[in-house]
Every structure is written in structure tokens, then in C-alpha cells.
Amino acid sequence: MIADRDKYVSDWAKEPIVERVKYLEYVLKGEYDLAVEHARMALELDKRLPNRPKIGSSDYIERLNDVIAAKEYIEGFSQTNK
């Protein structure tokens, strides 16, 4: 991830991006509990950034909801095929 190595981007600004990369990696691995955990962390870190809405940016909220929905869908699908 390039932003993580960018010396001109402050660490506090990188944190939500780093968490976002982590949750995407967990989604690709099918580890949805960890993906949801890191998506929540990304949203929480995003809320702390200057000039962000108190609830976090809509992009991070949408991604968290997408990860939760994917987790529920996959788990529901696996339950019906047992």
C-alpha cells in the first residue's frame, strides 16, 4: 500500500486507509469476522480525522455495511446448504 509508505502523509491520516486495506484483505480470504472488525476500526479512525462528519464519511459507512451484508449472506448461504 503506497499511502502507508508515503513520508508526506501523517500517520494519523494513514490509519483509516491501513485498516481499510486490512479489511479488504480479510474479505478476499473469506475471514468475514475479521473483515467486519477492521471495517469498523476504519470507520472509527475516519471519524477522528479533521473535516469529517461525526458519524464518519459515507464511503466508510457504506463499505462497513457491505462487509456486514456479505458476511451475513455467506453465513446464511452456508447454513441452508448443510
Digit-coded pLDDT (tens) for 9-63: 576 778 888 898 899 999 999 999 999 999 999 999 999 888 888 888 899 999 9
pLDDT at 81 over 70: no
**Which pLDDT score is estimated for 77?**
80
Burial, 18: exposed, middle or buried (Cβ in 10 Å; 0-12, 13-18, 19+)?
Answer: middle
**Which pLDDT score is estimated for 82?**
59
Amino acid at 22: K
The interaxial angle of helices 11-29 and 58-80, nearest 10 deg, is 20
Q: How far apart are CA 46 and CA 31, in angstroms?
A: 22
